[in-house]
Amino acid sequence: MKRFDHTANVIGRYMVIAFGSGFGLNFNYRKNGESDVLLLDIGNSSNYIWTNNFDPNAVIPPQSSSTSDSTQSDNNSNNKNNTGIIVGVVVGVLGIIIITSLSIFFFIKRRKNLLHEKATSDGENVMPIPSDLELSSGRNLVK
C-alpha cells in the first residue's frame, strides 16, 4: 500500500511516524488493520524494529567511542561558532548604542544652536548692551 504526506519525530528510542490525510483519498491500509501512526524502535542502530509498544522512558544506549569523539568535536565547533555569534551580537549592539547616542547628542546640540541663533536674529529692535570699553570711549552707540 502506498503511503505519503507523513511526519516523523524521534522520541527517546522510537521514531513515531504519523501519516497525513489527503482530500478524497482512499486509505486501503486501514482495512488491513494498519494504523495512521507507526512506531519504529531505533534503539539498536544495526537492527530497526517495527513495534506496537511505546515506552516513553526508554533511552537510546550510548554508541561506540568513535562516534562520541566526533560528537565531541562537533560540540567544540558548535561552541566556537556560538562564541563568534555572541561576540558579533555584542559588538553590533554596542555599535548601535554608540551611533544612536552620538546622533542624539548632535541633534540636541544643533537644535540648541539653531534656537540660540533664532533668538538673536529675531530681535531686530533689541539694542546690544554696550561694553565698559565702549562706554568709557564716549563713542556714539546709536546709528
> Would you write out the chain's pLDDT as a tens digit for each of its 143 residues?
455 667 888 888 888 888 766 555 565 555 665 667 788 888 888 889 888 888 877 766 666 655 555 556 666 666 677 888 899 999 999 999 999 999 999 999 999 988 877 766 655 566 667 676 666 666 555 55
pLDDT of residue 126: 60
pLDDT of residue 36: 72
Cβ atoms of 40 and 52 within 8 Å: the answer is no
136, amino acid identity: S
CA-to-CA distance for 97 and 103, rounded, in angstroms?
10
CA-to-CA distance for 114 and 2, rounded, in angstroms?
77
pLDDT of residue 105: 96
109, amino acid identity: K
Give the CA radius of gyration of the chain: 39
pLDDT of residue 89: 94
Distance from first CA to last CA of the chain, Å, rounded?
A: 108
pLDDT of residue 44: 82
pLDDT of residue 91: 97
pTM beyond 0.75, yes or no: no
pLDDT of residue 103: 97
Residue 53: HSE in the Cβ half-sphere, 13 Å Cα cutoff: 4
